[in-house]
């Protein structure tokens, strides 16, 4: 009887041991499987993010090249043609000094040429690369001022500017889209732009006192996500590890704030005299 009890205990212990071992294997397998699943999901997400970034970069490059092409066309072809017309008008003027219309035409043509050259400069990203973002913004705002539609105020509180030129080009394109939106949608009278320095980033703020809009309602519209406008700006900001915020109040205006990361790698030595480069 005693030996029977003993063998029963052994059987129970053995059974429990086998059961525990089996349980252990099952749990280990589940943990391993779950970890693998998570790792796969993370890898997939990272690949997808990488893919999106590559698409965006390629899209930016295509846009930049197209704009460069248009800039050159404007400057070289149309600019040359208009200059020729101006020279012709000059000679007519000499022959017929009394014709007032020729004088007026010359004036309009002069203005058109000036605007055309300015437009050509702002489309060509080489100018931003050469002269830097602050000069590019100053130049662009001068162009806006010349329309005589807006009061433009620009405050630059930055002492030490240190941003990778490629990032500057992307920031400049974001800035241009924000200004275009003010032209197209806001009906504003005043545009205030400020650049400030924070410990980790610079901030660029563009404020208008126009109609404002309902951001939530707009972001639900299909066209908002079509890629060209505001949604694209948020993606571009991501591309430079920056941050894009927009606030708007109907009847009061819109505020856009962009944070621009400072250059963390070694300084760009290729253009040591960058600050003295004119915006040409
Ligand atoms: N500064 C602003 N003032 C008033 N409304 C604005 C302003 N900026 C944007 N909006 C509103 O937000 C909408 C979305 O702007 P977004 O730039 O995405 O598109 P869009 O300017 O209409 O088109 P796209 O930029 O593709 O040419 C605009 O249609 C407009 O209604
Ligand atoms: Mg727009």
Residue 273 — left, alpha, or beta (φ > 0 → left; ψ -120 to 50 → alpha)?
Answer: alpha
Mutate to test the pocket of ligand 1, among 181, 210, 214, 224 (most ligand atoms within 8 A of CB): 181
Q: Say if ligand 1 is within 6 A of residue 218 CB.
A: yes
Q: Is 214 helix (H, G, I), strand (E, B) or coil?
A: coil
Quick one: pLDDT band at residue 270, thresholds 50, 70, 90? very low
Greatest C-alpha distance within the chain = 138
Tell me how far the alpha carbon of residue 179 lies from the centroid of ligand 2, in angstroms.
9
Closest CA to 114 of 137, 91, 147, 136: 147
Q: Say if ligand 1 is within 6 A of residue 185 CB.
A: yes
**Could you give the strand order of the β-sheet that contains 243-249, starting from the edge strand earlier in sequence?**
151-156, 190-197, 201-208, 253-261, 243-249
Return residue ranges of the chain for CATH 3.30.565.10. Answer: 135-280
Please list the alpha-helical segments (H only) found in 204-262.
Answer: 215-220, 230-239
Q: Say if ligand 1 is within 6 A of residue 60 CB.
A: no
Summarised one tens digit per residue, pLDDT across range 184-214 is: 999 999 999 999 999 889 999 999 999 999 9
Summarised one tens digit per residue, pLDDT across range 224-252 is: 555 457 878 888 888 888 999 999 999 99
Q: Say if ligand 1 is within 6 A of residue 183 CB.
A: no
Give the per-residue pLDDT at 269: 46
Tell me how far the alpha carbon of residue 231 lies from the centroid of ligand 2, in angstroms.
9
**CATH classification code of 135-280:** 3.30.565.10
Residue 171 burial (10 A CB sphere; 0-12, 13-18, 19+)? buried
């Amino acid at each position: 009887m005693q030996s029977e009890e003993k063998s029963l205990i052994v059987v129970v212990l053995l059974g429990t041991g086998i059961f525990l071992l089996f349980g252990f294997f099952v749990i280990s397998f589940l943990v391993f499987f779950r970890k693998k699943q998570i790792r796969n999901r993370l890898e997939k997400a990272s690949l997808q993010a990488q893919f999106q970034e590559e698409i965006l970069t390629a899209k930016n490059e295509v846009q930049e090249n197209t704009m460069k092409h248009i800039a050159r066309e404007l400057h070289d072809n149309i600019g040359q043609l208009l200059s020729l017309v101006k020279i012709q008008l000059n000679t007519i003027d000499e022959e017929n000094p009394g014709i007032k219309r020729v004088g007026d035409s010359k004036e309009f043509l002069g203005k058109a040429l000036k605007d055309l050259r300015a437009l050509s400069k702002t489309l060509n990203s080489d100018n931003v690369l050469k002269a830097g973002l602050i000069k590019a913004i100053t130049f662009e705002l001068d162009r806006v001022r010349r329309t005589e539609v807006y009061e433009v105020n620009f405050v630059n509180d930055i002492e030490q500017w240190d941003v990778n030129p490629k990032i500057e080009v992307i920031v400049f394109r974001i800035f241009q889209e924000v200004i275009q939106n003010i032209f197209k949608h806001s009906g504003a009278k005043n545009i205030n732009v400020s650049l400030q320095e924070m410990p980790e980033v610079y901030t660029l703020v563009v404020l208008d006192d126009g109609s404002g809009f309902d951001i939530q309602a707009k972001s639900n519209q299909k066209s908002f996500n079509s890629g060209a406008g505001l949604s694209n700006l948020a993606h571009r900001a991501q591309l430079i590890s920056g941050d894009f915020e927009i606030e708007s109040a109907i009847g009061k205006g819109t505020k856009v704030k962009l944070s621009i990361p400072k250059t963390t790698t070694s300084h760009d030595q290729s253009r040591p005299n960058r600050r003295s480069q004119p915006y040409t």
